[in-house]
Amino acid sequence: MDAREFREIFQDRTETAGFEGMRGVMEIIEDVRQNKDAALRSYTEKFDGRTLDAFKVSREKLKDSYDALSEDKRWALEKIRERIEDYQRTIRYEDRDDGEFKYVYHPLEKVGVYVPGGTALYPSSVLMTVIPAMVAGVGEIHVVTPTFKDNNITFAALHICGVENVYTVGGAQAIAALAFGTESIPKVDKIVGPGNYYVALAKRLLFGEVGIDMIAGPSEILIYVDEDVNVDAVVYDIFAQSEHDKNARTFLLSEDQGIIDRIENRIRDLIDRQPRAEIIKQSIDDNHYAVVDSRQSLLALVNHIAPEHVSVQHKDADMIIRNIKYAGAVFEGYYSPEAIGDYAAGPSHVLPTDRTGRFSHGLNVNDFLTSHAVISLTEDTFGDIAESAMTVAEQEQLDAHYQSLKIRTE
């Protein structure tokens, strides 16, 4: 298909996306607000099949999980932790003094982090969410996760990060617990981290009651290629995104129909060999798009979609990237596949999806800071601008404002 045909299909898909399950999530939120731990126990038993006396994971269990890891797994987690920390330190906002104005940054006091669990373990999500909060200097980090297995790598990653407040509760009920507080889990100032559809709905509904990083949907990647690209590498880049979720979206763009055909044929050759073939097939069948058009049209399409991930594997990558305005993260070249960004590149893999990259950005250290200006004007500066302010105050008929300014000019 060309860009025009894609826009028609894509617009229809985005406009028909609804909020199924909203009422049920609202009921869960209200139940947790009123009944606190009792509601959490009920939902943990209902959805996870677990009966828990206490939600908090002991420090001993976190350390035991770390101790149970093989040396190579410890090394991998420590190396990634160090790389992410180094990156986040380089972009952290610092206080600035410009004479009459000061910009002051303070870390948040309490942050809640959601780490997915259940059917799979995600130590990478621990590192990508907790480390930026640590670098910011957040006072308390509280982690919720539907992870119950003893001696698991998620708990080990939490131990490496020095997190002590970990609770085995997940789903919309965990988000509600962080937003309102319960007997076991304190109310936090902001909630971050990826989760399933119901977690995303809970975050949407609770925005304002508590700070929210973003409302993330299924993962997505846009790959822009030329005729000389490594076909198998691109196919596995597509599979890597598709294996996340049956709703994961993949976009393949090129100015050359021949390379699109080669890649699409190779997808069919390799798809049945994948361990997560069933998920990949459904993702490819329902949410994979191949578009061939002019460069101008394709660049406009990239910015229209504002994808979570953009991979540019093209001889003119520099030029193409200079024209990308909206994306969660951009990966340039053969040795920067999106998969390295999921684990070890440095920037967080918590990124905006579903076109929200047009007005938001990926999670980073500065999302855990608040800022305010300190205004300290001299008499000369006040005298220079007071008359203009008084004129506007008169027009707005706010006399006390006018008098507050005028008295300082006399």
Q: What is the pLDDT of residues 207-216, one digit of tens each?
A: 999 999 998 8
Structural domain ending residue among the three candidates 212, 247, 274: 212
> Domain with 263 in it: what CATH number?
3.40.50.1980
Give the pLDDT of residue 303. Answer: 96
Mark whether 60 and 136 lie in a shared domain. yes
Tens digit of each residue's pLDDT (9 = 90 or more) over 69-97:
999 999 999 999 999 999 999 999 999 99
Q: Classify residue 367 by its DSSP letter.
A: G
Q: Evaluate if residue 162 carries a pLDDT over 80.
A: yes
Residue 16's pLDDT band (boundaries 50, 70, 90)? very low
- Write down the mean pLDDT value for the chain: 94
- The pLDDT of residue 149 is above 90: no
15, pLDDT greater than 60: no
**Contact of 344 with 83, CB cutoff 8 Å:** yes
Which of these is catalytic: 142, 244, 288, 309?
A: 309
The number of domains in the chain is 3
- Above pLDDT 90, what percent of the chain? 86
**Is there a catalytic annotation at residue 309?**
yes
Q: With 0-12 CB in 10 A as exposed, 13-18 as middle and 19+ as buried, what is 181?
A: middle
Q: Of the listed 220, 243, 255, 308, which one is catalytic?
A: 308
Residue 370 lies in a domain: no
Q: What is the mean pLDDT of residues 246-272?
A: 96
Of 193, 212, 231, the position where a domain reaches its end is 212
Domain annotation covers residue 11 = no
Query: Does 317 score more than 50 pLDDT?
Result: yes
Q: What pLDDT is stored for residue 13 in this prediction?
A: 58
pLDDT at residue 307, as a whole number: 95
User: pLDDT for 330-339, tens place per residue?
Assistant: 999 999 999 9
Looking at the fold, whether 138 and 54 belong to one and the same domain comes out as yes
Same domain, yes or no: 184 and 45: yes
The verdict on 261 and 284 lying in the same domain is yes
SS3 383: helix
Over the stretch 32-53, which tens digit does the pLDDT of each residue have?
999 999 999 999 999 999 998 8
> What is the spatial distance between Cα 42 and Cα 159, in angstroms, rounded to a whole number?
28
- 308 is annotated as an active-site residue: yes
Indicate if 343 and 204 belong to the same structural domain: no
The confidence score (pLDDT) of residue 14 equals: 54
If asked whether residues 202 and 259 sit together in one domain, one would say: no
Q: Provide the pLDDT confidence category of residue 9 given band limits of 50, 70 and 90.
A: confident
DSSP-derived 3-state class of residue 299: helix
For the chain, state the CA radius of gyration. Answer: 25
pLDDT at 334: 96
Residue 67 belongs to some domain of the structure: yes
Q: Is residue 10 in some structural domain?
A: no
Which residues, in sequence order, are CB contacts of 223 under 8 Å at separation 6+? 234, 237, 238, 250, 251, 252, 253, 310, 311, 313
139 & 87 share domain: yes
3-class SS shares of the chain: helix, strand, coil, % to 5: 50, 15, 35
Instruction: Kindly state whether residue 47 falls inside one of the protein's structural domains.
Output: yes
Confidence of residue 290 (pLDDT cuts 50, 70, 90): very high
Q: Give the pair of three-digit tokens for residue 44.
A: 């943990």
Which sign does the torsion angle of CA 222, 228, 231, 232 carry?
negative
Asked whether residue 63 is assigned to any structural domain, the reply reads yes
Domain match, 246 and 132 both:
no
Residues 380-406: what's their mean pLDDT? 96
Q: In 99-122, which positions are buried (b, 16+ CB within 10 angstroms) versus exposed (e)?
A: eeeeeebebbebbbbbbbbeeebb
Main-chain dihedrals φ then ψ at residue 233, nearest 5 degrees: -60, -45
What's the domain range around 382? 378-406
- The mean-pLDDT minimum among 18-22, 114-118, 121-125, 318-322 falls in 18-22
Is 223 part of any domain?
yes
Residues 129 and 231 in one domain: no
Does 62 lie in the same domain as 181?
yes
Q: How confident is the model over 155-177, as a mean pLDDT?
A: 96
Give yes or no: residues 58 and 196 share one domain.
yes
Same domain, 95 and 176: yes
Whole-angstrom Cα distance, residue 248 to residue 221? Answer: 8
Q: What is the mean pLDDT of residues 101-107?
A: 95
SS3 track for 250-290 = EEEEECCHHHHHHHHHHHHHHHHHCCCHHHHHHHHHHHEEE
Task: Examine the fold and report which residue of 212, 229, 262 is the final residue of a domain before the chain moves on.
Answer: 212
- Any domain includes 88: yes
